[in-house]
A and B are shown apart, each in its own frame.
Chain A
Amino acid sequence: MAGSMTGFRNLIDALAAAPGDRPFVTAWIDEDEQETVTFAEFRRRSRSHAKMLSEHAVRVGDRVIILMPQGIPAMTAFVGAMMLGAVPAFLAYPNFKVEASKYRSGLAGVTANLKAKVVVIDVAFPEEMLGHVSISEEARLLRASDNKNLSADVDLPELERHSESLAFIQHSAGTTGLQKGVALTHAAVLRQLEHLAHALRVDGTKDSVYSWLPLYHDMGLIACFMLPMVYHVRVVMQSPLDWVMHPETMLQIISEYKCTLAWMPNFAFQFVPRRTPRTRWAQYDLSSARALINCSEPVRSSSMREFENAFSPIGLKSGTLQSSYAMAENVFAVTQSDVNRPSSPKQICVDGQRFRSMHLIAPVAEGTPGAISFTSSGRLLPNNEVRLLSDSGALLAPGHVGEILIKSDSLFAGYYNRPDLTAKAIVESWCHTGDLGFTLEDELYVIGRKKDLLIVGGENLYPQDIEEIVASHPAVHDGRVVAMGLYNPDLGTEDIVVVAEVEREEILTDTAEVERELRNLIVAGIGVAVRTIFLKPPKWIVKSTAGKAARSTTRDKLLKEHPELNVESGESSTNDRRRTTDD
């Protein structure tokens, strides 16, 4: 495949070409504490990390795992590894909720699968999360000290023929996600960035990115780290936890640094206005923003409207809110809405009845009774193609709902060391996304998922990880557990709901203790809180012909029995249940 039009052979070349005195990363801790590094200083610190890695025998092609909190040292360690031609992977930093033994076993699995040479941790890394049994036998543990004043005097290998080699590996959450290391070449990443930068008219002299997105997630890594690095754009970044505990800081940072671009999952578009006291909105100014892109969860027009209504009085311009459909397997974006359109992404109203019964998109006038609305994720980026496939595998025409398949010049090289999983995902050069959607007038609309995957706050979670934990409880009938995501209009994202069959009917007389234990187990295992647990009598869960719990039919049964959970249909009346923070 042809190299990139950016003219860079690899990502390190692109960084080398950045103007040294331009600010690159600002790490925002709070209003009294920030650190900014220029491109020159970022290169120097990356070289000093390269030196440290090189002294520990890291060479071209070696895998390097980075377990550091969100911040500049994690980023320079990542780039330092790439400078050596090694292949870095960010993994999530331990969350205090997750039990040490669970974290260790996940880490052991992923280091073994990657055959990682080293695991880089920060000085404050919690000891109990490691232990020498935690990492596979070949992997060495390196504690990265603060490299501000360390020497950067290192001989870097010549990487001129390095464009088709792997640049890095990206993982999603959970033990299942850790088995799927999305391996990406320099060339694929550069091609993706070129398409994206063109679609967004990125200009390093004028733009700056705001981000709270984790670096192990494609939005954080590609849109908010690699794109700024290759196109020489400043990024002002905070940690995801700091943001989620103080969502108002997004308004504060964009106002202060006059950021122009940001990516966020759908829920953030209502989380920020609802969780920022209304009395403080007027302190901020969003007039610098030119594209705030809704990405990584299905786009809801109600969430977009809520953000726009809240913040247009503080300078948010019409047409700033955008949408994109992205996935790590394509490096990042497949589509991007048109940033030159004077209003936000296209929205259509369709006949609800025909949508539900025939999976057919029949546009109707806005306000038609029974209509449901969808928001477009935009047009395909250049050299990206989509196909829609029916359940029986037939190719669908525009206006029909089916599974989205993609093909592009930035598709991943495979799941690292997992040809079995790669062969399932890519069939005859088409990547089966597991997402459901349709095309209409050359725009792609993503409406949900075919595969069983929960997306909570933009993060992917695999239901089987939760089900396995719940099934391990003695009161729960083994294998009779279904975890699912149900849309919560108050949060703008999915809630995790678990249905489990108890071993014996009498357990149902007092479920409080079992529920409490299940919650503890889930949070200790994967660090997430479950919204609701339904304990049901034996034989309640619908089984498939193979005797396994059938997720979709069980979900239907639960929604029938608990109609209060069924809020999926329609985009209307989502504001009725809102909580306000200004009382």
Chain B
Amino acid sequence: MTEEEQQMIEYIVRLIRKPNVSIDENTPLVSSGLIDSMALVDLLLKLEDLTHKRIPAGKVQPKDMNTVALMFATVERIGKARK
């Protein structure tokens, strides 16, 4: 796991405030109901911060954010340089 993935996991643990849930890079977040659609923006903003990239609207779907591993793969695929 990369340093950024680890930071993302720590961020998610703080965000969902569920101490008895453990998360790794392959834990489903959206399809498991841990993250609701209104929290996806928090993950995207964090992801942009961690990767120093911009993730354009309209190119990313909730399923692309379902696990930490998928999130970083999504940035690889569609992330753009910051303006």
Q: Name, among B30, B41, B65, the residue most crowded by chain A CB atoms within 10 Å (CB to CB).
A: B41
Q: Say whether B34 contacts A29, CB under 8 Å.
A: no
Q: Say whether B41 contacts A529, CB under 8 Å.
A: no
Mask of A73-115 contacts with B, CB within 8 angstroms, 1/0: 0000000000000000000000111000000000000000000
- Find chain B residues with CB under 8 A from A579 CB: 42
| Known A97-B30, A277-B45, A516-B21: A529·B37 in contact at CB below 8 Å | yes
Q: Say whether A245 contacts B33, CB under 8 Å.
A: no
* Closest-CB distance, A517 to chain B (whole angstroms): 10
| Known A33-B58, A249-B57, A277-B45: A244·B33 in contact at CB below 8 Å | no
Q: Is A441 among interface residues, defined by CB-CB distance under 8 A?
A: no
| Nearest neighbor of B36 in chain A, beta-carbon distance | A529
A238, B56: Cα distance in complex, Å: 13
| Known A97-B31, A97-B62: A32·B56 in contact at CB below 8 Å | yes
Q: Is B69 among interface residues, defined by CB-CB distance under 8 A?
A: no
Mask of B1-25 contacts with A, CB within 8 angstroms, 1/0: 0000000000000000000110000
Of residues 232 through 288 on chain A, the ones whose CB sits less than 8 Å from some CB of chain B are 238-239, 241-247, 249, 267, 271, 275, 277
Q: Say whether B33 contacts A520, CB under 8 Å.
A: yes
- Find chain B residues with CB under 8 A from A173 CB: none
Q: Say whether A241 contacts B56, CB under 8 Å.
A: no
A553, B37: Cα distance in complex, Å: 30
Q: Say whether A523 contacts B33, CB under 8 Å.
A: yes
- Find chain B residues with CB under 8 A from A267 CB: 38
- Find chain B residues with CB under 8 A from A146 CB: none
| Nearest neighbor of A28 in chain B, beta-carbon distance | B58
Q: Is A491 among interface residues, defined by CB-CB distance under 8 A?
A: yes
Q: Say whether A29 contacts B58, CB under 8 Å.
A: yes
Mask of A20-54 contacts with B, CB within 8 angstroms, 1/0: 00000000111111000000000000000000000
* Closest-CB distance, B63 to chain A (whole angstroms): 4
- Find chain B residues with CB under 8 A from A515 CB: 20
A579, B46: Cα distance in complex, Å: 13
Q: Is A489 among interface residues, defined by CB-CB distance under 8 A?
A: no
* Closest-CB distance, B30 to chain A (whole angstroms): 6
* Closest-CB distance, A285 to chain B (whole angstroms): 17
- Find chain B residues with CB under 8 A from A511 CB: 20
Q: Say whether A245 contacts B41, CB under 8 Å.
A: yes
| Nearest neighbor of A519 in chain B, beta-carbon distance | B33
* Closest-CB distance, B12 to chain A (whole angstroms): 13
- Find chain B residues with CB under 8 A from A298 CB: none
A30, B58: Cα distance in complex, Å: 5
* Closest-CB distance, B61 to chain A (whole angstroms): 7
- Find chain B residues with CB under 8 A from A31 CB: 56
Q: Say whether A241 contacts B33, CB under 8 Å.
A: no
* Closest-CB distance, B13 to chain A (whole angstroms): 14
**Interface majority SS (helix, strand, loop, mixed), chain B:** loop
Q: Say whether A275 contacts B42, CB under 8 Å.
A: yes
A523, B58: Cα distance in complex, Å: 23
| Known A522-B33, A523-B31: A241·B61 in contact at CB below 8 Å | yes
Q: Is A360 among interface residues, defined by CB-CB distance under 8 A?
A: no
Q: Say whether B56 contacts A529, CB under 8 Å.
A: no
Q: Say whether A247 contacts B32, CB under 8 Å.
A: no
Q: Is A425 among interface residues, defined by CB-CB distance under 8 A?
A: no
* Closest-CB distance, B82 to chain A (whole angstroms): 11
A123, B27: Cα distance in complex, Å: 31
A29, B60: Cα distance in complex, Å: 11
Q: Say whether B42 contacts A581, CB under 8 Å.
A: yes
Of residues 37 through 67 on chain B, the ones whose CB sits less than 8 Å from some CB of chain A are 37-38, 40-42, 44-45, 56-63, 65
* Closest-CB distance, A458 to chain B (whole angstroms): 11
- Find chain A residues with CB under 8 A from B59 CB: 29-30
Q: Is A542 among interface residues, defined by CB-CB distance under 8 A?
A: no
Listed by A's residue number, 23 A-B pairs whose Cβ atoms lie within 8 Å are A28-B58, A29-B58, A31-B56, A33-B58, A95-B62, A96-B62, A97-B33, A239-B58, A242-B57, A243-B57, A244-B38, A245-B65, A271-B38, A275-B41, A457-B38, A491-B38, A516-B32, A519-B32, A519-B33, A520-B31, A523-B32, A530-B33, A579-B42
* Sample of 17 more A-B contacts, CB < 8 Å, known A245-B40, A246-B57: A29-B58, A29-B59, A30-B59, A97-B62, A242-B57, A243-B57, A246-B44, A247-B41, A275-B41, A457-B37, A512-B20, A515-B20, A523-B30, A523-B31, A529-B30, A530-B33, A579-B42
Interfacial residues, chain B to chain A (CB-CB below 8 A)? 20-21, 30-38, 40-42, 44-45, 56-63, 65
Of all A-B residue pairs in the complex, the 10 with the closest CB atoms, nearest first, are: A529-B36, A519-B33, A523-B33, A29-B58, A246-B57, A30-B58, A512-B20, A30-B56, A529-B33, A96-B63
Interfacial residues, chain A to chain B (CB-CB below 8 A)? 28-33, 95-97, 238-239, 241-247, 249, 267, 271, 275, 277, 457, 491, 493, 511-512, 515-516, 519-520, 522-524, 528-531, 579, 581
